[in-house]
Amino acid sequence: MLVVVLLVLGLGGIVAQTLLLREMLILFSGNELSLCLVISAWVVSEALGAFIAGVWAERRIVDAKLYTWATLLFSAAFPVTIYATRVFKPLVGIPAEIAVGITTVLYASFSLLLPTGFLHGFLFSLACALYARKEPKAHSPAGKVYFYETLGTIAGGIVVSYLCIPHLHAFQIGFGLCLLNGICCILLLARSHAGKATPTYVLTVALFVILPALALIRGADALHTVSVEKVFAGRNLVYYENSFYQNIAVIKTEDQYTFFTNGLPAVTTPVPDIVSVEEFVHFSLAVLPYPEKILFLGGGAGGAIHEALKYPSVKQIDYVELDPAMLEAIRRFQTPLTQSELTDSRVHPHYLDGRQFIRATDSRYDAVLLSVASPSNLQQNRFFTQESFALVRRILMNGGIFVLTLPGSLAYYSPELKAINESVLRSLRAVFPYQHVVPGDTNIFLASSSAELSKVTPEMIHERLKAAHVTTNLITYAHLVDRFQQRKRDWFFSTLDNVAALSNLDFRPSGVFYEIAYENLMLAPSLKPLFVWAQKVTFPKAVSFVFLLFFVILLLGKRWGRVSLPFAIATTGLAGMAIELTLIFGFQVVYGYVFYEIALLITAFMAGIAAGSIFVAGRLREWRSAYSLFLSTEVSLILFTLVLTAVFSLLDSLVLSRPLTLHFLFLLLLFASGIFIGMEFPLATGLYQSASLERRVGILYAADLTGGCVGGLLTGFLLFPLLGLFSTLLLVAFLKTCSLTFLLLQGKRGIII
């Protein structure tokens, strides 16, 4: 029965984390940094809960009743947090239309996630103590609990992602979890009280089983409706759904439909932003004499495809959209504009990741139009890298053109705005010998291998539009003369003089950093110095910092003793998170973003953790020197990190020569990296004999989570984008080397009595 409780503990944690993360992404219209902050808030809350429980429980008897009360609190906190997240903005007086900055994301994440995260971490430490009481002969109760909890996490991740989210809303899932927790606790109490109906038993039945059941039937839908209405207060919400990839909402204002994805407007019909749509399409297609095959990546419905269809020479438009639910929503609320786009026989939608499409297609195109607005997160940034541009060049006809847009200005460029444009422009120049920029409030970049692009004039475009009998609302000859002025181009390029921005690469996605810095300037300008400082971080400086950290820890070790093991666990948590992100991100770069695949990759990592923890937990008593084994695990992790750099350096050739092998290699590497983390935790709890079980589990679990939190934050936001993948892995290897050195210097006296 206790094993079932532990499985449900793991399941509950991943369900809560996944659902709350999705709600927060909608609330914050999240980019990479806000995503990292939200995850960090969860992890820190868990770490705090685990640590506090460790200290609090060591002088108490942890029994089923205590565990039940803690579970009750966790079960109650979860749906309350869902509601609080949705109504956060009206609750604190922020108008729904206003975006929030990083400082708001930070305090909102922590204040909203603290109760649920704290209680889940609290439960973990309690579970270890409970297990130790139930199984006094177990050599590594924490290891066993870690193993079962991880299994529960794997099962929960699969269940919530594949079964729950597509069919149930968050409150239904939340109350379902309450019910499940309730049933487990009742059974746990029944076993411990041998079937006697104590007051606690009866109260638990009422609170955990009857109330959630009633809530599921009567209240969940009402709560969902009320909370969603508060999110879109004052607006006519006609559609609200969660797909695998995102939240989609549709607002109707008079005769206009606006389709929001994760809280941001994406498509407006029947009249889109005419200036943006017409310039994007006609400034590119009218450059070509007879455009026949067009590819739209990442968007197009809602105006752009309609404009492209005006050209009589167009025979085929391939439209790549990752999320079929988006087109389903657009079809549900059709207007003449979208109907003309989506029912035209020349338009072929493809529901897959754009990078995957351009890698796999054998077609060749006259024009490839990238409809992704900017590199605002790692997913979107993949379309703005040098490697992606090289893939696009491969699928262009001779004389074909590639078009993309970036944020711009006709008045002034801040350093942040300059950096985004310079970064992508450098990558573009590395692939396409000819570029033409049309500066504006949105900059339009045209790129080609053909010298014809350098001959573009307003007269040429005007004549081509006339010859093709293409009529527009905006594109007059005077407008073309104004927009294609050499003076404006000269000014644009002069603003980019001496801008020290890194070119945007797959394995050094600097575009994300610059975009986040630009968005931060809008929403939290007081943090600008932090971003300015971050850009000065180089690999030698990062190594020096790690060195400094090592000496500080060394001094702390002399003062307090026994910090080498928590430090090792924290750095392993950090390394594990960095390696996991590296492998998942690398997979996406190669294969594209596919929801099912991502879930499989995360499962492989978690399975590795589970395998490692149970392997050690089951055999700990046999080894004479668990300490030597711990050291060996540290060394193996360092070597593994170095092996990864070699794998990534061979990635391109492996993709071409052994694609299937590479696919399985990713899974294997994730599984292997999970094993190291899974092994170290139970080893550490077994070695760390100086404190009670509750306290040492609390300390080590907190260290593990803290390391993971820091690793996630630094890797996604700072190390990847600015240092690149290889430097990040080398830095991680160096950090683990420092941790190993510290362990060796402190020796056994620093760990075991």
Runs of H (alpha helix) within 650-692: 651-657, 659-687
Beta strands 293-297 and 365-370 are parallel
Is 228 an interacting residue with respect to other proteins (CB under 8 A)?
Answer: no
Q: Which residues pair with residue 236 across a beta bridge?
A: 252
Beta strands 347-350 and 316-320 are parallel
- Using CA atoms, how far residue 199 sits from 186, 202, 204, 245, 682, in Å, is 12, 5, 8, 45, 37
Alpha carbons 423 and 95: distance in angstroms, whole number: 34
Mapped onto helix, strand or coil, the DSSP state of residue 198 is coil
Stated as kind and residue range, the H or E segment containing 392 is helix 386-394
Q: Nearer Cβ to other proteins, position 524 or 569?
A: 524
Alpha carbons 520 and 105: distance in angstroms, whole number: 11
Is 668 an interacting residue with respect to other proteins (CB under 8 A)?
Answer: no
Alpha carbons 573 and 487: distance in angstroms, whole number: 54
Is 417 an interacting residue with respect to other proteins (CB under 8 A)?
Answer: yes
Is 409 an interacting residue with respect to other proteins (CB under 8 A)?
Answer: yes
Name residue 136's amino acid.
P
Is 478 an interacting residue with respect to other proteins (CB under 8 A)?
Answer: yes
Is 745 an interacting residue with respect to other proteins (CB under 8 A)?
Answer: no
Q: Which residue has the tokens 């991502």?
A: 598
Runs of H (alpha helix) within 536-594: 539-560, 564-591
Q: Nearer Cβ to other proteins, position 420 or 735?
A: 420
Is 97 an interacting residue with respect to other proteins (CB under 8 A)?
Answer: yes
Query: From the CB of 267, what's the least distance to other proteins, in Å?
Result: 10
**What is the footprint of other proteins within residues 239-258 (CB under 8 A)?**
251, 253-256, 258
Q: Nearer Cβ to other proteins, position 120 or 483?
A: 483
Q: Nearer Cβ to other proteins, position 481 or 639?
A: 481
* Strand order from edge to edge, sheet including 434-438: 347-350, 316-320, 293-297, 365-370, 396-407, 442-448, 434-438
Q: For other proteins, which stretch binds (CB under 8 A), given 110-118, 176-184, 267-275, 539-547?
A: 267-275
Is 346 an interacting residue with respect to other proteins (CB under 8 A)?
Answer: no
Is 529 an interacting residue with respect to other proteins (CB under 8 A)?
Answer: no
For 299, list phi and psi in degrees, rounded to 5: 150, 170
Name residue 234's amino acid.
G
Q: Nearer Cβ to other proteins, position 360 or 474?
A: 474
Residue 678: how many CB atoms within 10 A of its CB?
Answer: 29
Is 469 an interacting residue with respect to other proteins (CB under 8 A)?
Answer: no
Q: Choose which of 90, 265, 336, 433 interacts with other proteins (CB under 8 A).
A: 265
- Exposure string of 78-103, with b = 16+ CB inside 10 Å and e = fewer, is bbebbbbbbbbbeeeeeeeeeebbbe
Q: Choose which of 10, 157, 263, 586 interacts with other proteins (CB under 8 A).
A: 263
Tell me, residue by residue from 347 to 386, as one string, x for binding to other proteins by CB under 8 A and - for no binding: ----------------------------------------
Is 90 an interacting residue with respect to other proteins (CB under 8 A)?
Answer: no
Query: From the CB of 414, what's the least distance to other proteins, in Å?
Result: 5
Q: Choose which of 133, 139, 230, 235 interacts with other proteins (CB under 8 A).
A: 235
Name residue 22's amino acid.
R
Q: Choose which of 18, 268, 377, 603 interacts with other proteins (CB under 8 A).
A: 268
Tell me, residue by residue from 277 to 306, as one string, x for binding to other proteins by CB under 8 A and - for no binding: -x----------------------------
Written as six digits, the tokens of 744 are 């060796």
Tell me, residue by residue from 27 to 46, as one string, x for binding to other proteins by CB under 8 A and - for no binding: --x-----------------
For 418, list phi and psi in degrees, rounded to 5: -60, -45
Cβ partners under 8 Å of residue 341, min gap 6:
300, 301, 302, 305, 306, 309, 347
Is 202 an interacting residue with respect to other proteins (CB under 8 A)?
Answer: no
Alpha carbons 1 and 198: distance in angstroms, whole number: 19
Nearest to 267 by CA among 308, 309, 294, 298: 298
Is 92 an interacting residue with respect to other proteins (CB under 8 A)?
Answer: no
Q: Choose which of 271, 360, 451, 639 interacts with other proteins (CB under 8 A).
A: 271
Is 234 an interacting residue with respect to other proteins (CB under 8 A)?
Answer: yes
Q: Choose which of 429, 479, 489, 663 interacts with other proteins (CB under 8 A).
A: 479
Query: From the CB of 95, what's the least distance to other proteins, in Å?
Result: 7
Cβ partners under 8 Å of residue 656, min gap 6:
none
Alpha carbons 393 and 163: distance in angstroms, whole number: 40
Q: For other proteins, which stretch binds (CB under 8 A), given 89-97, 422-430, 596-604, 651-659?
A: 89-97
Is 413 an interacting residue with respect to other proteins (CB under 8 A)?
Answer: yes
Query: From the CB of 528, what's the least distance to other proteins, in Å?
Result: 9
Nearest to 710 by CA among 735, 684, 737: 735
Q: Choose which of 525, 561, 659, 747 interacts with other proteins (CB under 8 A).
A: 525
Q: Nearer Cβ to other proteins, position 8 or 266?
A: 266
Q: For other proteins, which stretch binds (CB under 8 A), given 269-277, 501-509, 549-557, 666-674?
A: 269-277
The footprint of other proteins (CB under 8 A) covers: 29, 95-99, 234-235, 251, 253-256, 258, 260, 263-265, 268, 271, 273-275, 278, 409-414, 417, 441, 472-474, 476, 478-479, 482, 487, 491, 521-523, 525
